[in-house]
């Protein structure tokens, strides 16, 4: 399966480029914008950091952290590219003790691109190309959008979504709210 999937922004297919090539031109003729979901390139950590910074909702890591993730963890990260701009990203890694799982550290979509399935497409791409057994993430109780996103992924893959304690508030040194952990499985 190709790692780069080119999909129109509306409607929101999740099939591969090869599978949907005959419908691509129709979609582009009604919407000149195209969306590409693919692994990040090493320098694109900078734009991922910019999306995180401008969104303002996430814990902003250092620019260095995004650059390292884009360089060394590209296989478990994704970017969404629209009109040559990065409009969304997923930071993910494989927990060493759970090699068939993917931990989603952050997912973010630029404000003007939200609500059109971009985050779901990035996560779907990771699930379908990664041969994963389970998806993990932590999500604060107040983050309704993120919870809805992961619930949607679980439904789509007919998998169960379960919660555990994750990172409790007491472990944070700075008053950060607790981060309950979700798990979506089985994915295959």
Ligand X SMILES: CC(C)(COP(=O)(O)OP(=O)(O)OC[C@H]1O[C@@H](n2cnc3c(N)ncnc32)[C@H](O)[C@@H]1OP(=O)(O)O)[C@@H](O)C(=O)NCCC(=O)NCCS
State the residues that interact with ligand X by CB under 6 A: 55, 57-58, 106-109, 114-120, 139, 143-146, 148-149, 152
CB 138 within 8 A of CB 178: no
Work out how close the CB of 148 gets to ligand X at its nearest, in angstroms, rounded to a whole number.
Answer: 3
- Please return the burial class of 40, using the count of CB atoms within 10 Å of its CB with bins 0-12, 13-18 and 19+: buried
Distance of closest approach, residue 166 Cβ to ligand X, in angstroms: 12
**CA atoms of 48 and 91, how far apart (whole Å):** 9
Q: By C-beta, is 22 or 73 nearer to ligand X?
A: 73
**Cβ at position 170, least distance to ligand X in Å:** 21
Q: Between residues 57 and 141, which has the closer beta carbon with respect to ligand X?
A: 57
Query: Could you tell me which residues come within 8 angstroms of residue 101 by beta carbon, excluding any fewer than 6 positions away?
Result: 94, 95, 132, 133, 134, 135, 136
Cβ nearer to ligand X, comparing 28 with 116:
116
Q: Where do we find the tokens 């107040």?
A: 142
Q: Which is nearer to ligand X, 22 or 105 (CB)?
A: 105
Least Å distance between CB 53 and ligand X?
A: 12
Distance between CA atoms of residues 32 and 110, nearest Å: 19
């Amino acid at each position: 399966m190709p790692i780069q999937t080119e999909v129109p922004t509306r409607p929101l297919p999740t099939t591969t480029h090869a599978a949907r090539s005959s419908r691509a031109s129709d979609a582009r003729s009604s919407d000149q914008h195209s969306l590409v979901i693919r692994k990040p390139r090493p320098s694109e950590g900078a734009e991922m950091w910019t999306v995180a910074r401008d969104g303002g909702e996430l814990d902003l890591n250092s620019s260095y952290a995004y650059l390292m993730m884009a360089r060394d963890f590209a296989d478990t990260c994704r970017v969404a590219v629209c009109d040559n701009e990065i409009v969304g990203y997923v930071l993910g890694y494989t927990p060493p003790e759970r090699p068939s799982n993917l931990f989603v550290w952050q997912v973010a979509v630029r404000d003007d691109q939200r609500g059109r399935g971009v985050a779901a497409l990035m996560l779907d791409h990771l699930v379908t190309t990664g041969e994963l057994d389970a998806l993990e993430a932590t999500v604060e109780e107040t983050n309704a959008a993120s919870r809805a996103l992961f619930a949607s992924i679980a439904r789509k893959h007919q998998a169960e979504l379960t919660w555990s304690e994750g990172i409790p508030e007491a472990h944070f040194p700075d008053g950060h709210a607790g981060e309950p952990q979700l798990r979506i499985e089985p994915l295959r």
